[in-house]
């Protein structure tokens, strides 16, 4: 990994404006290795922060809170604008860091850096539009109003699949609102988070306003971040399993929470759909980030009348996807994050096959001759796979696959499609392909999901409210709504003479 600016490779926690090794002298091991999932190459040895460092970081965030919230919105916006500009200036290095530690193709990493930066720019602008209300009074001798104030110290725990965008989607609104923050990135991908924070430091964001703990003891660090009395809110992106643990911990001291959790996105391809358009969308969504995306299509429900045509078109196109090292420009599918992830995905496939599914493509371990790039760890890759005749009660369509596997199912009526789509505890994103506007409206309304894409899978950006219902989460990120998650509404009643 050759960065144009090697000083972006940070390996320590950042607390109160200082880069430091763990202060927990009894911690073992002292460092942990960050590796390239495609090759196994060790990229860096990173300090193994613990719950003690997390506590110090919370106190640093608390100490910085008074001054940061005391700035004008315009002053806070100015810092965020500088940070945004630095992220974009360093897009190439940040993308290379991401591909190296996470594996995604370099073009996807570059796109994620721009997406990540967009949250900082957007919330720099939103900082200046935090308004209260004047409420028409119901008593002549009272005047009623509300103001918005920052929640206080926020903690954020982020995942490895989008290591930069999931961080800025939290830090941007938190800082814009006047909160200070402690971030704990995933141990698989700490380098992206540390580089972003190094740029925040260069932008002049004052000491203590942003703090980062890197460490392998997620549960120990997480417990401090979810329970410390100085913390007023925890915001989490990750699995529903861990989200439930954090919700339980945060409940003990009634903290505010935002939860961006797992998904099980269906796509409903109706008989009147434009098949080419639907296939293009399904491939773009399913195989992005090797299928390791919370909103990527997990199940394809296709109308029985067009099943044959749709499947042929899909097969032709998926066969041309190239698997390998993310820095090779022709590669469209990188490695999965760990070897355990490959084993898990393959177990889901094997179980579906044992229960009546048929492999139209892939479904077996990756072979070396199909991989692009040198020095690759073959067992970290999984081939693009399409399974037909998948039964609705199999784990493959009831769990988040998080791999490049596409299960096909058919439906005969709209009601059947909607019932299958809604038969999950998840409710993050769903997609529809149809050329009938009335159908699009009615089905969008009937789907129990926080986000619906109609003839479109590219649904995310900084301007929309991202989030799920049911066990996919609580709250929204991005858009004009995203900043409310970091604000309290205070009501003031002024008595008059």
Provide the annotated active-site residues: 260
Binding-site string for ligand LTNE7NMQ from residue 154 to residue 183, where x marks contact by CB under 6 A and - marks none: -------xx--x------------------
Cβ of residue 116: shortest distance to ligand NAD, in angstroms? 13
Binding residue (CB under 6 A) for ligand NAD from 161, 180, 264, 327: 161
Tell me if 471 contacts ligand NAD by CB under 6 A.
Answer: no
* Residues within window 202-221 making contact with ligand NAD, judged by CB under 6 A: 218-219
Cβ of residue 404: shortest distance to ligand LTNE7NMQ, in angstroms? 15
* Residues within window 116-155 making contact with ligand LTNE7NMQ, judged by CB under 6 A: none
Cβ of residue 112: shortest distance to ligand LTNE7NMQ, in angstroms? 8
# residues contacting ligand NAD (CB under 6 A): 29
Distance between CA atoms of residues 278 and 241, nearest Å: 32
Taking the least distance from each CB to ligand NAD, the nearer of 262 and 266 is 262
Tell me if 250 contacts ligand NAD by CB under 6 A.
Answer: no
Binding residue (CB under 6 A) for ligand NAD from 86, 153, 157, 405: 157
355 binds, among ligand LTNE7NMQ, ligand NAD, none (CB under 5 to 8 A by kind): none
Tell me if 294 contacts ligand LTNE7NMQ by CB under 6 A.
Answer: yes
218 binds, among ligand NAD, ligand LTNE7NMQ, none (CB under 5 to 8 A by kind): ligand NAD
Tell me if 242 contacts ligand LTNE7NMQ by CB under 6 A.
Answer: no
Distance between CA atoms of residues 466 and 478, nearest Å: 6
Cβ proximity of 83 and 199 under 8 Å: yes
Taking the least distance from each CB to ligand NAD, the nearer of 69 and 230 is 230
> Helices 165-177 and 73-89, interaxial angle, to 10°?
160
Tell me if 400 contacts ligand NAD by CB under 6 A.
Answer: yes
**Binding site residues, ligand LTNE7NMQ, CB under 6 A:** 161-162, 165, 293-295, 460, 466
Interaction site with ligand NAD (CB under 6 A):
157-162, 166, 184-187, 218-219, 222, 237-239, 242, 245-246, 260-263, 294, 400, 428, 468, 473
């Amino acid at each position: 990994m050759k960065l144009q600016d090697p000083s972006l490779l940070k390996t320590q926690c950042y607390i109160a404006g200082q880069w430091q090794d763990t202060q927990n002298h009894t911690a073992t091991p002292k460092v942990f290795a960050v590796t390239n999932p495609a090759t196994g190459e060790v990229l860096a040895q990173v300090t193994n922060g613990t719950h003690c460092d997390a506590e110090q970081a919370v106190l640093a965030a608390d100490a910085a809170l008074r001054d940061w919230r005391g700035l004008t919105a315009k002053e806070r916006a100015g810092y965020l604008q500088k940070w945004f500009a630095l992220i974009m200036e360093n897009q190439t290095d940040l993308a290379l860091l991401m591909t190296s530690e996470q594996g995604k193709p370099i073009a996807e990493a570059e796109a994620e850096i721009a997406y990540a930066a967009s949250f900082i720019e957007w919330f720099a602008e939103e900082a200046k539009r935090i308004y209260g209300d004047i409420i028409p009074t119901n008593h002549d001798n009272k005047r009623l109003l509300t103001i918005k104030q920052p929640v206080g110290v926020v903690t954020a725990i982020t995942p490895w699949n989008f290591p930069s965008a999931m961080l800025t989607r939290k830090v941007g609104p938190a800082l814009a609102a006047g909160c200070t923050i402690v971030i704990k990135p995933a141990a698989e991908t700490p380098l992206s988070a540390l580089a972003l924070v190094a740029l925040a430091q260069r932008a002049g964001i004052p000491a203590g306003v942003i703090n980062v703990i890197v460490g392998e003891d997620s549960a120990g660090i997480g417990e401090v971040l979810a329970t410390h009395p100085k913390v007023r809110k925890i915001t989490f992106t990750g699995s529903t399993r861990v989200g439930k643990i954090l919700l339980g911990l945060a409940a003990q001291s009634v903290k505010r929470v935002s939860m961006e959790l797992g998904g099980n996105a269906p796509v409903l391809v109706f008989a009147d759909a434009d098949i080419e358009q639907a296939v293009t969308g399904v491939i773009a969504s399913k195989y992005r980030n090797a299928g390791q995306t919370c909103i990527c299509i997990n199940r394809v429900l296709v109308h029985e009348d067009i099943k044959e045509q749709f499947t042929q078109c899909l097969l032709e196109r998926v066969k041309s996807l190239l698997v390998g090292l993310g820095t090779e420009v022709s590669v469209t599918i990188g490695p999965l994050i760990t070897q355990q992830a490959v084993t898990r995905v393959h177990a889901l496939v094997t179980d579906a096959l044992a229960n009546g599914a048929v492999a139209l493509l892939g479904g077996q371990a990756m072979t070396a001759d199909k991989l692009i790039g040198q020095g690759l760890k073959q067992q970290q890759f999984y081939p693009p796979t399409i399974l037909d005749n998948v039964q609705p009660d199999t784990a493959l369509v009831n769990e988040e696959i998080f791999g490049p596997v596409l299960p096909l199912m058919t439906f005969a009526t709209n009601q059947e499609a909607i019932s299958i789509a809604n038969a999950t505890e998840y409710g993050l994103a769903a997609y529809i392909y149809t050329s009938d506007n009335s159908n699009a409206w009615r089905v969008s309304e009937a789907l129990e999901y926080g986000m619906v894409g109609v003839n479109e899978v590219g649904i995310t950006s900084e301007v929309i409210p991202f989030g799920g219902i049911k066990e996919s989460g609580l709250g929204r990120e991005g858009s004009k709504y995203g900043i409310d998650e970091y604000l309290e509404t205070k009501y003031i009643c002024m008595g008059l003479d």
